[in-house]
């Protein structure tokens, strides 16, 4: 399961939700593409009804006595969990394994998981409902409560038109422009009581938080730790019985490292790079692919075509921040151009956040560490890791650098191991030095928005409209918000967005401010 919209309550609502829009025959409009499977349990209170989107695997509303669990996503520390739980737990699917962990540890189970998931659980014996995210909140989880029940979904847009007065849920964040639609924070198990009544309560239990302390291992120890944890993160992300994995490969050190570990473990590993007529990193990516022997391909699109992917990027990420959209746009465009069929994609996304790759020119180790701490405190809600980005093309992504164990190790290294002897991301480069060409190990960071020409393509489009350079940022922001209002709040399918009109109206709005 990689998406869902369900209703939990005491009143049956056929078709999965309130109101006419979700009666049978008109499924909620997810951006993720896959098989829609009904989620239904009318045998016990609270009643469950709704829709899950799957990629070929069976739906996962699993039950254990009075407990029901819906899990979107997957777990990466299965071996540790089954070791602790014993018995025949190794044969369980991820959702059943989580149920077994719940039986043992209760809500504390969510502090033990290393995974990429959103989970919804009801325990009729205690009247508790739990809505939980992984440590990074990498699978967005949205809630909307009213006096008759609780709706939960992995996409805010599917909750934007619920009838009934919403009730506030403490410990959550409201979606822009969607009153009552609340996001469960990263690394949180939200414990709800009184669902289906006016006295619903919510208590946010933090299950992970970025480390603030720093460790002082020696060089060798740090390099070995990072190398081992990255290798494990890639291995646990390669699940058996599936098509060969694909690595989205830029030619930079981060995706190069993921590609190296993937190729070493999975025969037939594929790699793919995207570029535009403005810019590409094809030579750098090709030398990695040749070195590793991956089945490599290149996808080039015109920069005008790339910018026109913005409605899809906004529909997938459900954000209004144009800077983050510039990082995500080339990936969304790439995912949408990959072969159809089930596909597991590994990325090198996010390595720069704990390693301070974007802050390589800061003056001191303290300013580097302070930037890292700031970025780690501010990632939640940016939705950079959302599975919907590739789900919009029917693919599943996973990000080894944001594996919980990798992230814990990377964040907590003292900054002098991240920038050392004038080299940024030093510890990672050292850990990968035997696995990649020397030129890749030494290659300076190039942001995805730079290497693909995304920033300049979007800017160029606006300059061509007669926008002044100092207004470009404002118009990008206006465009992002306008697109968000269309594809998230008004649930317009991205293909029905009038892009030219969006540009013109955003330009006009900023010009009016100028006067
Ligand atoms: P570095 O940060 O050192 O440049 P990188 O290029 O691997 O390394 P980013 O630039 O931060 O990392 O990009 C994030 C991720 O997005 C990459 O690791 C890669 O998985 C993906 N990516 C970036 N650019 C491209 C591209 N042109 N084609 C395919 N995938 C890309
Ligand atoms: Mg990065
Ligand atoms: Mg990077
Ligand atoms: Mg790069």
Task: State the ligand closest to the CA atom of 258.
Answer: 1
pLDDT in the model for residue 460: 93
CB of residue 253 inside a 6 A radius of ligand 1: yes
Where do we find the tokens 């030398």? Answer: 287
Task: State the ligand closest to the CA atom of 275.
Answer: 1
**Final residue before a domain boundary, out of 445, 471, 500:** 445
CB of residue 244 inside a 6 A radius of ligand 1: no
Task: State the ligand closest to the CA atom of 253.
Answer: 1
CB atoms within 10 A of CB 322: 23
Q: Are residues 441 and 471 in the same domain?
A: no
In a domain, 451, yes or no: no
CA of 444 to the centre of ligand 2 (A): 12
Catalytic: 242? no
Residue 126 vs residue 58, higher pLDDT: 126
Q: Are residues 403 and 467 in the same domain?
A: no
Do the interacting molecules here have an ipTM over 0.95? yes
Q: Is 300 helix (H, G, I), strand (E, B) or coil?
A: strand
Do residues 177 and 314 make contact, with C-beta atoms less than 8 angstroms apart? no
Q: At what angle do helices 454-464 and 499-514 cross, to 10 degrees?
A: 70
CA of 457 to the centre of ligand 4 (A): 17
Catalytic: 277? no
For all residues of the chain together, what is the average pLDDT? 93
CB of residue 333 inside a 6 A radius of ligand 1: no
Q: Are residues 402 and 470 in the same domain?
A: no
pLDDT in the model for residue 12: 53
Catalytic: 384? yes
Domain count for the chain: 3
- Exactly one of 349, 395, 418, 471 is catalytic; which is it? 349
Q: Are residues 157 and 292 in the same domain?
A: no
CA of 449 to the centre of ligand 3 (A): 11
Q: Which strands make up the sheet holding 35-41, listed edge to edge?
A: 35-41, 47-54, 3-9, 149-153, 142-146, 178-183, 173-175
- The answer, yes or no, to whether residue 23 has pLDDT greater than 80, is no
Residue with CA at minimum distance from ligand 1 atom 28: 273
pLDDT in tens, 375-387: 999 999 999 999 9
Q: How far, in Å, CA of 131 to CA of 110, rounded?
A: 10
* DSSP type of residue 91: G
Q: How far, in Å, CA of 355 to CA of 415, rounded?
A: 8
pLDDT in tens, 350-364: 999 999 999 988 889
Residue with CA at minimum distance from ligand 1 atom 6: 252
Q: Are residues 173 and 226 in the same domain?
A: no
pLDDT in the model for residue 28: 77
**Final residue before a domain boundary, out of 389, 419, 445:** 445
Q: Which CATH number is 398's domain given? A: 3.40.50.620
pLDDT in tens, 124-145: 999 999 999 999 999 999 999 9
């Amino acid at each position: 399961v990689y998406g869902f919209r369900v209703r939990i309550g005491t009143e049956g609502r056929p078709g999965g939700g309130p109101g006419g829009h979700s009666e049978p025959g008109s499924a909620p409009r997810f951006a993720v593409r896959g098989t829609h499977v009904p989620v239904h349990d009318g045998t016990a209170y609270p009643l469950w009804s709704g829709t899950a989107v799957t990629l070929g695997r069976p739906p996962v509303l699993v039950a254990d006595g009075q407990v029901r669990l819906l899990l979107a996503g997957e777990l990466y520390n299965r071996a540790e969990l089954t070791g602790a739980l014993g018995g025949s737990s190794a044969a369980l699917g991820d959702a059943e394994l989580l149920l077994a962990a719940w039986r043992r540890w209760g809500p504390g189970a969510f502090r033990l998981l290393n995974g990429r998931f959103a989970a919804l659980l009801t325990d009729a014996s205690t009247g508790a409902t739990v809505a939980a995210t992984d440590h990074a909140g990498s699978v967005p989880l949205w809630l909307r409560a009213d006096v008759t029940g609780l709706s939960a979904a992995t996409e805010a847009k599917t909750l934007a038109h619920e009838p009934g007065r919403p009730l506030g849920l403490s410990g959550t964040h409201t979606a822009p422009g969607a009153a009552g639609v609340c996001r469960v924070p990263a690394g949180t198990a939200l414990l709800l009581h009184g669902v289906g009544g006016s006295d619903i309560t919510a208590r946010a239990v933090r299950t992970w938080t970025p480390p603030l302390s720093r460790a002082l291992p020696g060089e060798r120890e740090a390099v070995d730790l990072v190398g081992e944890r990255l290798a494990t993160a890639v291995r646990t992300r390669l699940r058996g019985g599936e098509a060969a994995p694909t690595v989205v490969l830029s030619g930079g050190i981060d995706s190069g490292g993921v590609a190296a570990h993937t190729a070493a473990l999975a025969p037939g590993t594929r790699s793919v790079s995207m570029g535009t007529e403005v810019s590409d990193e094809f030579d750098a990516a090709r030398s990695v692919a040749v070195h590793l022997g991956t089945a490599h391909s290149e996808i080039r699109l015109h920069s005008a075509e790339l910018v026109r992917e913005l409605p899809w990027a906004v529909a997938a990420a459900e954000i209004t921040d144009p800077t983050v959209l510039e990082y995500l746009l080339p990936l969304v465009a790439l995912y949408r151009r990959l072969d159809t069929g089930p596909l597991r994609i590994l990325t090198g996304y996010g390595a720069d956040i704990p390693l301070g790759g974007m802050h390589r020119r800061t003056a001191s180790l303290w300013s580097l560490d302070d930037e890292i701490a700031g970025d780690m405190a501010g990632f939640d809600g940016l939705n950079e890791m959302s599975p919907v980005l590739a789900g919009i093309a029917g693919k599943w992504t996973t990000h080894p650098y944001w594996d919980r164990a990798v992230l814990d190790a990377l964040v907590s290294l003292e900054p002098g191991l991240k920038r050392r002897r004038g080299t940024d991301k030093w510890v990672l480069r050292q850990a990968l030095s035997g696995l990649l060409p020397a030129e890749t190990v030494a290659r300076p960071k190039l942001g995805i928005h730079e290497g693909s020409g995304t920033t300049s393509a979007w800017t160029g489009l606006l300059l061509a409209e007669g926008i002044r350079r100092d207004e470009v940022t404002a118009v990008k922001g206006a465009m992002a918000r306008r697109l968000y209002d269309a594809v998230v709040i008004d649930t317009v399918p991205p293909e029905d967005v009038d892009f030219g009109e969006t540009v013109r109206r955003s330009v006009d709005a900023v010009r009016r401010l100028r006067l």
